[in-house]
Every structure is written in structure tokens, then in C-alpha cells.
Amino acid sequence: MLQKKIKIKSKNGLHTRPAAQLVQEAKKYNSDITIISNGKEANAKSLFKLQTLGLTQGSNIILSINGIDEQKAMNEISIFMKKLI
């Protein structure tokens, strides 16, 4: 399992459009991909679940990836999130 801390810098936080883009990116991988914030977890492949986290500007999250393509997923999703949020 790989984990990485990420801070959301976007003034709009992780609102619907970037969350939907993150879901599309996460679905490219076989690994389980989870976003953790304030003790709550959400499957990064579910837009509904991501939105329940209420991620706003300044939120600290942990990107957690576990599975056969976890290293590739972590590299690509980390880059993707830096551009996105």
C-alpha cells in the first residue's frame, strides 16, 4: 500500500468538475484508490463518495492506493491532482 499527503490549494476545493475528472482518472487503474480526510474515507472511483468528504481549500488529504498497479497509479494520480487542485 502506498500513501501520499496532499493539500488542496484550489479556491473552490474539490468541487464537482474536478472530482468527476479524478474519478475518471482513478477508474483507469485496477488498484483500490481511497481518499482520506478528517477520519473519513471515500473510494476515489465514486463521485458521490468523494463529494461526501466536503473537501475545501486548505483541506489535507491522504491518497491511499493498494493493488497490483499501485506505483503507476500513485505516480499518475499525484501528477493529475497537482494540476487539478
Active site residues: 15
d(CA 16, CA 5): 21
